[in-house]
Amino acid sequence: MKVQTPPAFLSAFQGLKQVYLRLPNASLAPYKIRGYRVHQDAVLLKFFKIVTRNDSETLRGAEVLIASDDLPLLPEGEYYAHQLVGMAVQRESSEPLGTLSEVLATGSNDVYVVKKPDGTELLLPVLESVVRKIDVPARAITVVVPDGLE
């Protein structure tokens, strides 16, 4: 199975024994890994359950999930998107802006999607000049909203 992933995440598959696949029909199933290798900008996974090409076709379009406990530790100040989603987003003045609903990987820098109380969304680039502080224990992200984004 060929897995497209951001280059920084290629090493996350090293040493994994199992992943979970969310199939197009929305079912979630564990798959034990028989082999793995990196090829260009993708990871090629071989599973014990999947033997033939027809077997592998059943996985087309599946989403690959890794259990949180199996993810490699990140350097201080770096976070996985799932750790941040749901956090409160506020200005430096502590004025609430909304809740982080999604992290978009755009290539050059990620973008935070903030769901505001009125239901609208605010898109914030993940830059040092914008994201001032991430407080994991308090589940809060402090930002400076650039002019023209509101």
Residue 133's CATH number? 2.30.30.240
Q: What burial letters (b/e) apply to 48-85, b meaning 16+ CB within 10 Å? A: eebeeeeeeeebeebebebeeeeeeeeeeeeeeeebbe
Residue 106 belongs to some domain of the structure: yes
What pLDDT is attached to residue 2?
82
d(CA 16, CA 35): 9
Residue 149 belongs to some domain of the structure: no
99 and 52 in a single domain? The answer is no
63 and 97 in a single domain? The answer is no
Extract the residue ranges of the chain whose pLDDT is less than 70: 7-8
d(CA 108, CA 33): 31
The tens digit of pLDDT for each residue in 9-46 reads 777 788 889 999 998 887 888 999 999 888 887 888 89
Specify the amino acid at residue 111: V
87 and 109 in a single domain? The answer is yes
Contacts of residue 1, defined as CB under 8 A and 6 or more positions apart, other chains included, come to: 44, 45, 46, 47, 50, 56, 59, 62, 64
66 and 98 in a single domain? The answer is no
DSSP assignment letter at 86 = T
- Last residue in a domain, options 47, 70, 93: 70
90 and 65 in a single domain? The answer is no
Residue 150 belongs to some domain of the structure: no
What pLDDT is attached to residue 61?
86
Number of domains in the chain: 2
49 and 10 in a single domain? The answer is yes
Domain extent, residue 130, equals 81-143
- Strand intervals (E) in the chain: 2-4, 18-22, 28-39, 42-47, 63-65, 88-91, 96-105, 110-115, 121-125, 131-135, 140-143
Residue 75 belongs to some domain of the structure: no
Tokens (6 digits) for 106: 């755009």
> What distances in angstroms separate CA 9 from CA 6, 14, 84, 115, one per listed residue?
5, 10, 17, 27
59 and 104 in a single domain? The answer is no
19 and 50 in a single domain? The answer is yes
What pLDDT is attached to residue 74?
83
d(CA 115, CA 101): 6
Residue 15 belongs to some domain of the structure: yes
What pLDDT is attached to residue 50?
87
138 and 89 in a single domain? The answer is yes
16 and 55 in a single domain? The answer is yes
**Is pTM, for the whole model, over 0.75?**
no
Nearest alpha carbon to residue 124 among 107, 110, 138, 140: 110
